[in-house]
Every structure is written in C-alpha cells, then in structure tokens.
Structure 1
C-alpha cells in the first residue's frame, strides 16, 4: 500500500469527523492512514503515566491512547481495509502536523479542536496549517458528506495550478463532477489590448467577459485530457469571489482553493479568499498550494 494520509486527533467532534474523512481518502488512494496526536508538556496538568495520585490507567498516555484507539475504530468503521497506525508526538499541533506534511500526500484536520475559543468557526491551527503545510490540507466541519460536485475556485494565477490538479484528481477519486468557477469584476479583470490605439481604454462590449472566459479555458487546458472521466462544469461569474464560492459551497461536497490568488500581496502565505472559505464555506475545504520542493 503506497501513499500516506495524516489526520490530526484530539478527541473533539470535528477531529473525529476528520478521521472519517481521512480514512475515506486513504481508501480511495490506496494509502496508509496515520493518526497523530500532538501535545505540549508545559500546558498539560496530567502526568505522562499513572502515579500514586492517579487511579490506575488514568494517566495522560492512557487517556490519549483511548482517544487514538477510538479514532482508529472510527476509521475502521469507514474503511476497514486501510492500514492505520497511531502516533503520539510531543510538540505543538501546528509544528507536528507541518512536519508530518513533508512525507504525506494529504493532511486532514478538524475545523476546530478542543482548545478553540467558543464562537470561532475555524481554529487557528487549521488556518495556519493550510498556509504552511507541504501538501494539500483538508479542513473538515463536524457535519460532512454530501453528493454534490467538487467545487473549484479558479483565478488564473500560476499559484492556483496546484489547486486545479488536486481538484481534478479528487473528482476522479470520488467519481464526482467538477464545477470550476471563475469570478471577475471590472476591478480585477485584466484590461484587454485596445482596439483603437487612439482610445486605449475603449473596448468592444463584452471584451472583459470574453477575456475571463478564455482565462478559465486556459486554466483548465490539459487537465481534461489527463482526467477524461471527470465531467467538468466551467462557470464564469461576474461578481465577488468570496460571495459566489460561499453560496456555491452549499451544494458541494468539497471546495478546493489555492493558497494565494493573483490579487494577493507578496509574502502572504494564505490569501484572503482562502481564509474566507475556511471560515465561511458550508462544506469541507481543501487548500492546495504550490510548495515546489517538499523538502
């Protein structure tokens, strides 16, 4: 069995939902599943093993062991043939999972862990991991599932190519349609070459929209041939990207975005649209960024 899917475990409801998603992903990919629990000693007030002050079996390792066993049982209920291993690692979850991502094909986490603040939709670990991981990251809400299409946000930037590749591969694995959405406004659409040099800002009616349709077609070029079984539904929307993708996510089983788009500021690891999707999308979100070398 080749490939590796890593999932973060902490005992929360969203983490258990992430375990189920990760197990399904591992099964689709013919990959191994690694269940990872990360802890930081200074913030814990339980001993690593039973002490004279603890009842037998009530130490931290025993408690974590039970959480990992529960997670493994949950994974087995979804994908019984997947080889799963349990890993207990000292370190903060972000650092541990980022390191795990260097050898993983996919990292799956819950949207909020046990340490999250009440009212937050997505925890800081999920957002920061999506920005720093060396492989695609899937962030799962407590309620998962759905039979809708894979929703892909496309902006035409070179940084978005990894998200397009991931979305096509995921649609093929799931046997799902791929709805590829590109949004534009008169503020973010590149100005086409003028028809009349004496009027550099004048263009034929519909020229901007036609240019955006070409951009979407070029972004999808080559993938249709590589993934012939995937039914693609291209869609060009005149309007705000955040609003359009959030609304479209209501009927999607997965939303795939890149880490940064063509409007991002240099140096940012995670763009505003990607962050908005993590916080407000109605379905599971995958962030795939161009990492170059994984090492």
Structure 2
C-alpha cells in the first residue's frame, strides 16, 4: 500500500513540477520536467495538454504580422488549441490570467494591421481585450476610421469602456451598438455577463411586443426608457446618426420624459401620439408605467 501511495504521489509531483514551470513561464524548466513526466508516467493523461502549453512558450514570436490571414491562423491556434489546454490544466480563472500574456504578444504583433472588413474579428483591439488591456483596446479602435459606424470596432470599444469604467459609462455606446448591430450587441451582453444587464435583457425579451427576431433588440434603448426612465441622462450621450425608427423612438422618449418633468401637457399629448404612431408596442410599454 505504501508503495502504491508513493507511485500515485510521484505522478502528481512530476505533473506539478511542469505546471509550476509553466506558471513561471520558464520554458526550459517546463520542458525538462515534462520529459521526466513522460519517462516515468508515459500514460499520464495530462502529457499532451502540457506539451501544447510548453510549445506555446517555446514558439513565441515578436515578428509583426504582414497580413490578416497570418493573424487569423495564430488566433485559431490560441483559441482552439492553447486556450482549451490551459483551461483544462489550470482551471478557468488561472487559465485566463495565463493566457493574457499570449494574447498581449499577439496584439503587439498585430498593431500595424489596419482594420479589414473581410477579417472583421482579426485586429489588435480584440486581442487587447483578451489580454485585459482596456486602454490599449480603446486606443486601437480609435485609430480605425469611422469606427462608430462599424459593428466590430463599436463592440470592442463598448466592451473596453465597460471593463475600464463600468456600466454607467458604457450605456451610450451600448445604445449605439444596439441600433447599429442588434445581434452583435446581444452577443456582447452574453460575453460581458453583467447581472443587471442580463436581467434587463430577459425582461425585454419577455415584455417587448415585436417580431420575435433578434433584430428587435435595436428597440432596447428606447424600451429601457419606459422601464428605467432614470437612465435617460446616461443614454443621452448616445449619438443619433442613422435616422432609423428605434433611434427616433429613443429621441421621442427623451423629449416625453422632459415634457413630463416640465408639466407641458399640450406638447406631451402630441409627442405621445407620435410615439404611438411610430411603434404601438413601445407606446403601450410606456403607458403601463403612467
């Protein structure tokens, strides 16, 4: 029994030696410990995953990417091979911290690549986000011409604003993203995982009278003003630029809320009628709170 216990603890110690070297990001020590593990415990099921992480440390490059296809290939390796191995061996939270250096190195190699709509997810900005570098992500987006009118960069800078400054600061950009790209906005809410946002989204899905499609989410900012009028001041920073109905409805509700505070009943009746004509379901949601 004592011999069995020693044998069982031996593989744990050898495995931990590899993991310790990996956590220190010391590739030679990790490789040496891994070779000992494979010699003494060749059937250990962590051997392949450990090899992937060791190779990630050994194969670090600082060469700038010359095209988006090369960046896309490197992203696939990180996302589909290295990241799953790190999560399996370190656990979710520790893996995120370990992977940050990998994403940071990738972002640094991608800084010279311009935004390309054909590779809309392959740019330095999302790499900086994965690395937890919120300021660098924001700066990378701001170098993209007309970023406010392009779904991917707008989503990146919205997340950066949320991570760095919190939900109150992110509300205007969240509204703009909902108007511009509702499906991408929904995906961002899922990625962010903010409890209050998730609750509002569930309430919107349950209560808003629309088509039932994800495109309904472009009405989310306007609907918010019917259930959370206190958000009006925060959402007012959103830019109305596309002249679509959801934007117009949001603007109308700003005006309506202001008229209510001023007690201007005649003007209020007129604005309410305009809102009803624009979207009866939104008008009904507004009237439920009156």
Q: In which range does the TM-score fall when normalised by the shorter chain?
A: under 0.3
TM-score, normalisation: structure 2: 0.27
Mark the structure with the bigger radius of gyration. 2
| Higher helix proportion (structure 1 or 2) | 2
User: TM-score, length-normalised on structure 1?
Assistant: 0.27
From the two aligned structures, give the one with the greater strand fraction: 1
Higher relative contact order (CA 8 A, sep 6+): 1
